[in-house]
Amino acid sequence: MTILSGAEILIECWKKEGVEVIFGYPGAATVDIHHHLGASSLRFVLCRHEQAAVHMAEGYARSSGRPGVVLVTSGPGATNTVTGLAGANMDSVPVIVFSGQVSRMLIGNDAFQEVDIVGVTRGVTKHNYLVISTDRLAQTIKEAFYVATTGRPGSVLVDLPKDVLSGQAEFDYPKKVFLKAYQPHLSPHPKQVAKVASLLKKAQRPIIYAGGGVISSGASEELLALAERLDIPVTNTLMGLGGFPGTHRLFLGMLGMYGLYRANMAIQNADLILAVGARFDDRVTGLLTEFAKEADIIHIDVDTTSIHKNLDVDVPLVADARQALLAILDNLGVAPDYPVATRAQWHDTISGWAQSCPLAYDPEPDSEGFLKPQMVIEALYRATKGKAVIVTDVGQHQMWAAQYYFYDHPRQFISSGGLGVMGFGLPAALGVLVARPESTVINISGDGSILMNIQELATVAQERLPVKVAILNNGTLGMVRQLQHLFYDRRYVDTTLASPDFVKLADSFGLKGLVAKTAAEMEETIALALAEPGPVIMDFRISPWENVFPMVPAGQAIDKMILRPLELP
C-alpha cells in the first residue's frame, strides 16, 4: 500500500473510475491538484467560467453516457457551478463537481474565498459531501461516482478542504460501495410487468410517451422493438428526442407546450398511455385535470418519487427503463395479438390530425426581408443529412430545433430541459466534441443565449474544438417577446437585444465568422461552415416576428393549442 497526498489520491481515484478528462478552472484552493494533474495522463479542459465548465461536463456526459467531472476552486469558483449542478440534476445527468475549500481550521471563519458550498448546493444536487479527512477521501470519491451514475443519475458535489488535499493517507481504492440507505430499484416487478403487457395488448388507442430515461438507460432499441411489435405510435418529450427514431413511421414528434398538434391530440384521445422514463412535467401535461382523461396510464420510472408526483397513474412500474421494456417484450411473446383493425383506424385518426394541422411555416422572408428561422434548421438538417449532434440553448431556437430537425439516434439532441439554462449550448457543445471528436457538432443558439457564455469562445480557440455555432439572430429575447406578443398587449418591454457584430467577435478570438441575410447566403454559409475543419460562428439574421407554433398557453389543456400566428400589426 502506498502513502499519497490527498491531491494525488484524488487523481488516482479519477483514473480508477475511468475518467479521461476534467473540465474546470484553477484557483488557490486547488493548485495542489493541478500541480499533480499536469504530470498525469488526464486531460484538463480549461474553461473561462465555472458555470460553463459544468455545462461542458454535462455535454460530455449527455453525449457519451459517462460521468462528467469538474474541478473548481473554493468560494466563487464553487458558487459559479450552482446553475450547472441544478440543471444536470433536473435532467438526470451524471456530473461530479470537485470544489476546493479553505483548510479545515478556517472553515466557518469567513476566510478568503470561503463559502459553505455543501449548504448552498444541498437542494440542487442528488447528494453532496464535505471530505473531513484525507483517509476518507477515496471512499467518498467512490461513493460520489456511484451515487451520480446509478438509479436516476444526477449531480454530486465533493468539497475538498485544502489541508485534506495536502495531507497524506494510505491509498486503497474501495472496490465496492454499499450504502444502506441508497439502493436503486432496477428490476421490474413480474406481476406489474404482466399487467402492463395485458393492458398493452388490449388497448385500442395506445400511445407511448417516452422521455430522457429511455436515453439514459440505453433503452432505445427495446423501445423501438416494443412500438413495432404492437404498432404503437410514439411521442417524445424534449429530453427524449432521439430516443426513438425521428424519421420512423410511428413517430409523432414532440408533445407538450410546443409539441406537434397530432402528438397532443393523440395523447388526449388515447385509451392507454405508456410513459417511459418521463415525469409528466408541466410543460408536457398542460392543465392536469384535462390531461388524457380517457386513458389508463402506465408509468415506468426508476425514480419512485416521480410516480404519482403530478398525476395519479393506474399502473406504476418502478424499474430501469431498459429492464422494464425487455421484461414487457418477453411477456408479450410473438403473436400479433392486439386489435389490428382498430389500430389501423387509430393511425388514420392521427394522420387526419397531422393533415389538418401540420407543422408548417411560411418560408418567404418577412416584409423586411429577414429569413425564417425554421428554414435555417431545415437547411442544417439537409446539409448534415440528419447526422449532426445538435446542442441547443434555451428559447425559441430550441423549440424550432426540436420541431424541424429529426433525430434518429439517442444522444444526438442535447438540450437543457428541466432547468432551461440559457448559455448551456456553447459549452455543452464543447463537452460533446471532447467526448465524440469525430462528430459534427452544431450549437443552435439565439442572440440572447449565446452571449450568456460567450467567453467560452476562448476555450474553443485554445482547445481547437471544431464547433459550429448557428446563431438565430432576431435582435430580441424571442420566447419572452412571444409571450408579450400573444398575452401582454404586444408591449415588448425589456426584450430588445442589441448584439455585437458576431463576425468581428469571432475574428477577435481567431475564429471564422459568417453572416447570412438571404436564403442563398444561408445555404452558402452552412456549406462553408461544414466544409471548414475548424470552428465557425454563423450569424443568421432571422425575422423577429416569427413565433413558435403550435403553442399551448400556460395553464391550458394540451389540445387547446394556438395553431398559427396572430395577424401581424
Partner 1 sequence: MERSENAQRHTLAILVDNSPGVLARVTALISGRGFNIDSLSVAETNEPEVSLITLITVGTPRIISQVIKQLRKLINVIKVTDLAEVDYVERQLVMIRVKAVDNQRAEITRLADIFRAKIIDVCPKTYTLEITGGQEKIRAALALLSEFGVEEQVSTGLTAISRSPILGKKTKKAEA
Catalytic residues: 50, 112-113, 162, 479
CA gap 52, 72 in Å, rounded: 11
Work out whether the CA dihedral 32, 37, 39, 40 comes out positive or negative.
positive
Q: Specify the stretch interacting with partner 1 by CB under 8 A; choose among 117-125, 413-421, 447-455, 540-548.
A: 117-125
Based on CB atoms, which residue is closest to partner 1, 121 or 445? 121
Does 142 bind partner 1 (CB under 8 A)? Our answer is: no
CB of 300 to partner 1, least distance (A): 17
| Candidate list 36, 55, 62, 127; residue touching partner 1; CB under 8 A | 127
Q: Draw the binding track, 147-176, toward partner 1 (x: CB under 8 A; -: no contact).
A: x-----------------------------
Distance CA 120, CA 128 (A): 10
Contacts of 441 (CB under 8 A, 6+ apart): 388, 389, 391, 429, 432, 433, 466, 467, 468
Say whether residue 135 binds partner 1 (CB under 8 A): no
395-408: buried (b, 16+ CB within 10 Å) or exposed (e) per residue?
Answer: bbbbbbbbbbbbbe
Q: Is 386 left (phi over 0), alpha (psi -120 to 50) or beta?
A: left
Under the binding rule (CB under 8 A), the answer on residue 180 touching partner 1 is yes
Q: What is the DSSP string of 432-487?
A: HHHH-TTS-EEEEEETTGGGGGGGGHHHHHHHT---EEEEEE-SB-HHHHHHHHHH
Distance of closest approach, residue 303 Cβ to partner 1, in angstroms:
7
| 112 neighbors 150 (Cβ within 8 angstroms) | no
Q: How far is the CB of 257 from partner 1 (least distance, A)?
A: 23
Footprint of partner 1 on residues 298-357 (CB under 8 A)?
Answer: 303-305, 308-309
Q: How far is the CB of 131 from partner 1 (least distance, A)?
A: 11
Segment interacting with partner 1, rule: CB under 8 A, options 58-66, 122-130, 290-298, 505-513: 122-130
User: 3-class secondary structure for 219-250?
Assistant: CHHHHHHHHHHHCCCEEECCCCCCCCCCCCCC
Binding-site size, partner 1 (CB under 8 A): 18
Q: At how many degrees (to 10) do helices 6-16 and 137-149 cross? A: 30
Contact partners, residue 335, CB within 8 Å, separation at least 6: none
* Selected range binding partner 1 among 20-28, 127-135, 244-252, 486-494, rule: CB under 8 A: 127-135
DSSP state of 1: -
> Interface with partner 1 by CB under 8 A: which range of 125-133, 272-280, 450-458, 534-542?
125-133
Shortest reach from residue 304's CB to partner 1, in Å: 6
Nearer to partner 1, 310 or 455 (CB): 310
Nearer to partner 1, 118 or 562 (CB): 118
Alpha helices in 127-211 (DSSP H): 137-149, 162-166, 190-202
Choose between 179 and 194: whose C-beta lies nearer to partner 1: 179
Q: Which three cell numbers stand for residue 404?
A: 424541424
CB of 155 to partner 1, least distance (A): 13
Q: Pick the binder of partner 1 from 35, 43, 109, 119 (CB under 8 A).
A: 119
Considering beta carbons, is residue 183 or 496 the nearer one to partner 1? 183
Shortest Cβ distance from residue 546 to partner 1 (Å)?
A: 39
CB of 163 to partner 1, least distance (A): 18
Please identify, using beta-carbon distances, which residue of 147 and 324 lies nearer to partner 1. 147
Q: Are the C-beta atoms of 516 and 451 separated by less than 8 Å?
A: no
Selected from 49, 55, 126, 411, the binder of partner 1 by CB under 8 A is 126
Q: Does 182 bind partner 1 (CB under 8 A)?
A: yes
Residue 108 makes contact with partner 1 by CB under 8 A: no
User: Residues 308, 309, 312, CA angle at the centre, nearest 5°?
Assistant: 30
Give whichever of 140 and 445 is closer to partner 1, judged by the CB atom.
140
Rounded to whole angstroms, the Cα distance separating 157 from 101 reads: 12
CB of 147 to partner 1, least distance (A): 6
DSSP string of 504-526, one letter each residue: HHHHHTT-EEEEE-SHHHHHHHH
* CA neighbor of 514 nearest in space, from 498, 491, 541, 537: 537
Q: In the complex with partner 1, which residue's Cβ is closer, 155 or 398?
A: 155
Q: Which is nearer to partner 1, 143 or 456 (CB)?
A: 143
Strand partners, 301: 318
Rg (CA), the chain: 24
- Answer yes or no whether residue 481 interacts with partner 1 by CB under 8 A: no
Q: Rule CB under 8 A: say whether 187 interacts with partner 1.
A: no
Question: According to the binding rule CB under 8 A, does residue 130 interact with partner 1?
Answer: yes
Per CB under 8 A, residues contacting partner 1 are 118-119, 122-123, 126-127, 130, 132, 147, 179-182, 303-305, 308-309
